[in-house]
Structure 1
């Protein structure tokens, strides 16, 4: 299982605003700032997002590598997929795959994809057999 990930973004304030507008639609309602400059791992100025006592998704400033990362976010319904996808478009994302069944994976796999302001592919996924 994945515990956390860092996404390197070119404009941290723009990315914070983007993800604050999108992630609550899939239940990630907590935002956390971590200043780890004194820690042994050397991760200063991380901006985290999560819920239920977990912060699995982190942003850090740097040079993006959008072709290297695809992020699949769990949605809890088809409506959440559509809501997150629409919120992402309203916040400046570009549409990649309109929400709907992705039968080439499984007829029950429901997802939509966008690219964020740095070009990372974000997928909002509902898999009813996992809920």
Structure 2
């Protein structure tokens, strides 16, 4: 079981705004920020209260922004949340990487949507429930 994950980003404020807006559509919120004075770089944790499980951190010389695209999939409670996630991601400056819809090649009830974040990472929301 995964406890948490994260990614370094090239523009902390731009990515924080993107993830705050996009993940709100599936019930995530910005739960914790740790300033560079404490953590060595600005860090933001998103999730469902009380615990963040997805983190972003400003890239540094020692920990540069990920050059290869990374894929994160967030579970949504409904297909409507997947649709809202996709639209919120586009509105927050993300790029389309797959409109909401069924993906039966994964499994019968797979319904997902994909957007690229400001660093080009493939961010997905997926609902596994039937309509």
Query: TM-score when scaled to structure 2?
Result: 0.87
Superposition deviation, residue 45 in structure 1: 2.8
Distance 1:4 1:36, change over 3 A: farther
Runs of 5+ consecutive residues of structure 1 not aligned to the other structure: none
Instruction: Give the match for residue 116 of structure 2.
Output: 115
Q: Distance in 2 between matches of 1:126 and 1:64?
A: 29
- Which structure 1 residue ranges, 4+ long, deviate > 3 Å from structure 2? 35-38
SS at 1:26 equivalent? coil
Which runs of structure 2 are paired with 1:17-28 in the superposition (5 Å)?
17-28=17-28
Superposition deviation, residue 64 in structure 1: 2.3
Q: Distance in 2 between matches of 1:114 and 1:44?
A: 26
Whether 2:49 is the aligned partner of 1:47: answer no
Query: TM-score when scaled to structure 1?
Result: 0.87
Q: Distance in 2 between matches of 1:122 and 1:97?
A: 10
What is the alpha-carbon root mean square deviation over aligned residues? Answer: 1.9
Aligned residues: 126
SS at 2:25 equivalent? helix
Which runs of structure 2 are paired with 1:4-43 in the superposition (5 Å)?
4-35=4-35
